[in-house]
Structure 1
Amino acid sequence: MKVKNIMTLLVILIVFLAVTASVYGLVSSEGPGLHQYHSIHGQVVSIYGKGLYANDSVTVVAQGKAQDIVTLGLGVPLLLISIYLARKNSLKGQLLLAGTLAYFLYTYISYTFLWMYNPFFLVYVLLMSASFFAFTLLMMSFNTKDIKASFNPKLPLKFLGGFQIFFAFAIGMLWLGMIVPTIINGTVPPGLEHYTTLVIQGMDLGFIVPLAFISGVLLIKQNDFGYLLSSVIIIKGLTMGAALSAMIIGQIAAGVQMSLAQIIIFPLLSAVMIICLFLILKNIDQKKIA
């Protein structure tokens, strides 16, 4: 079977499972409702108590339901549009597909390892696995020299690369500023609640921050791989930024207190990501490699 067909089957599987998980997460409501739980750290945590996310905190459920809405309203449509274009050998479609698959991979890694265990655990594992293999197959299929050749020389490399470096620095400082004081003082990090560790912060500091920094540097240096990696980082950043902005709205609506830095930084970064994506797509001329 051709790689393109395997990827298409994986995308169909991702769409079906993601829609099922997201819709059920949003509409399920069985359970006793809100109640309090004393964590191992001695904190009193408000537990949502309803539906698929019954054992998760009110804070995390507000984020998760916002994520489900973005997955349905943005992630799934982008996945369908990009796989359609990618099958027609459109470079724009292939780059959009890579970035969107990165969003699904990141999302369902977090659902697998962060959420309290629920009946959809195996669905999350399947989504994580399918996203990983589809993303890997797609990344292996790119010819980085062709990608570089397809971009207009007027592409603002310093702006795009510099923003990725700034993005890495901003996210890194945000999370380190939250974590390091708790290590020094021996206190509990904000947002840990009744969970075992900081999954999102671990993924961002371990993968997103170094990848964004390396990608930015490679693009400024006009390295072949920098063009591919930057496209993926920016598209993934845009979709995740939309999800984070929705999470902020969801948490505010749920009465969750948030830092001013989080309220400002994530929507601002998302807005710049939109500009970056526009610049990338505008400056692709596939005729050069046709």
Structure 2
Amino acid sequence: MKKKNDILAIITILCMCVTSMAGILSMNFEHAYNFVNQYGHTVEIFGYGIYANDSYFKAPISIGSDFCILLVVVPLFVYTYLQYRKKGDTTTEIKLISMYAVAFYYGASIAFGVTYNQIFLVYVLLFTSSLFGMFAHIRKVSVEQKVTVTKGLSAFMIVTGVALIVAWLPDIISAMVMGGTLPLIGVYTTEITYVLDMGIISPMCFVCLYLLKKKEGLGVVLLTGLLKLCIIVGIMIIPQSICQVLSGAEIALPVLVTKGLSFVVLGGFALYFNRKLYRELEE
């Protein structure tokens, strides 16, 4: 059997290596300074590395994400790509699509959410390669297997879709009522995580569940991507929280529980359903 190559996968992996290593090398919490932002608020700026112009609150979170990308996502992407080259079957192609989905989420987050820096073009290249790589495989893949939509899976999809709105919407409503900006807007004009989670991931959970119940193959493809993304986010929360603590940031317990532990729990359930899904597909 001829081995299948995917140049976009290689580009995506290399881009994630560059962006994550550059972020990790920026881990220095001793260069912070204050700055008055466009809203007239005093904001603490990180002041070092590629995150030099990002807020002191956001930079440690980005560094935590970079640790997860380099130590978890990149090895997993490489392993999945090698499986795809060796087997080239539907299951491995679906797994590769799910890795592209994770890379795309990360690429979109840094391309739109990180202040302009020296490796901006790498951000753009990662965003582009992961997006078109994902589309290329979705176009080719043909899923004939039907996944059993259990009550547990349905509940998980609904809870995940609702949780992503519940986690972020109160901040937005509060800012609208007060007539000001988001509490941690810093030097930014918007919060890209809110856009991705509430505008794409949350609705996709309900669309995916609908397609699964209609026995459509696209539902399976969406499900694998959503589950993989939930797993990675659940893992990513841990290094993000560690980096925030090391930076000296004070994290309120209610925030840690609602916006931290909840994602870890969802990631655990996603891991369970992910393993169950691939067992069913392989059978």
Distance in 2 between residues matched to 1:95 and 1:190, nearest whole Å? 39
CA shift for structure 1 position 202? 1.0
CA shift for structure 1 position 221? 4.3
3-state SS of paired residue (2:35): strand
What's the CA shift string for 1:121-148, capped at 9, x where partnerless? 000000100001100001111113x232
Match among 171, 180, 184 for residue 164 of structure 2: 171
**8 A Cα contact 2:97 2:225, kept in partner:** yes
Q: Which moved more, 1:275-284 or 1:246-255?
A: 246-255
Look up the match of 1:108.
Answer: 107
Look up the match of 1:278.
Answer: 275
Look up the match of 1:188.
Answer: 181
Match among 260, 263, 275 for residue 263 of structure 1: 260
Moved over 6 A (4+): 29-32
TM-score normalised to the size of structure 1?
A: 0.88
Amino acid at match of 1:162: A
Consecutive unaligned residues in structure 2, runs of 5 or more: none
3-state SS of paired residue (2:185): coil
Look up the match of 1:162.
Answer: 155
3-state SS of paired residue (1:147): coil
Distance in 1 between residues matched to 2:134 and 2:179, nearest whole Å? 39
Look up the match of 1:36.
Answer: 34
Distance in 2 between residues matched to 1:211 and 1:31, nearest whole Å? 37
CA shift for structure 1 position 3? 12
CA shift for structure 1 position 266? 1.3
Look up the match of 1:244.
Answer: 237
CA shift for structure 1 position 18? 1.4
Look up the match of 1:227.
Answer: 220
Distance in 1 between residues matched to 2:75 and 2:196, nearest whole Å? 25
Distance in 2 between residues matched to 1:84 and 1:3, nearest whole Å? 10
Distance in 1 between residues matched to 2:282 and 2:230, nearest whole Å? 23
TM-score normalised to the size of structure 2?
A: 0.90
| Identical residues among aligned pairs (%) | 26
Amino acid at match of 1:35: Y
**Is structure 2 residue 119 aligned with structure 1 residue 120?**
yes
3-state SS of paired residue (1:266): helix
Look up the match of 1:206.
Answer: 199
**Is structure 2 residue 48 aligned with structure 1 residue 55?**
no
What's the CA shift string for 1:57-97, capped at 9, x where partnerless? 12111111111111111111111111112221243322221
3-state SS of paired residue (1:45): strand
Distance in 2 between residues matched to 1:72 and 1:254, nearest whole Å? 20
**8 A Cα contact 1:47 1:58, kept in partner:** yes
Q: Which moved more, 1:221-230 or 1:14-23?
A: 221-230
Distance in 1 between residues matched to 2:3 and 2:178, nearest whole Å? 52
Distance in 2 between residues matched to 1:29 and 1:252, nearest whole Å? 13
CA shift for structure 1 position 246? 2.6
Distance in 2 between residues matched to 1:255 and 1:269, nearest whole Å? 27
Distance in 2 between residues matched to 1:241 and 1:99, nearest whole Å? 15
What's the CA shift string for 1:254-276, capped at 9, x where partnerless? 23335131132111111111111
**8 A Cα contact 1:161 1:217, kept in partner:** no
Amino acid at match of 2:270: M
What's the CA shift string for 1:213-246, capped at 9, x where partnerless? 1112332443333222112211122123322333
What's the CA shift string for 1:149-204, capped at 9, x where partnerless? xx5xxx45332232111100011122112211211221221221111111110111
Amino acid at match of 1:272: F
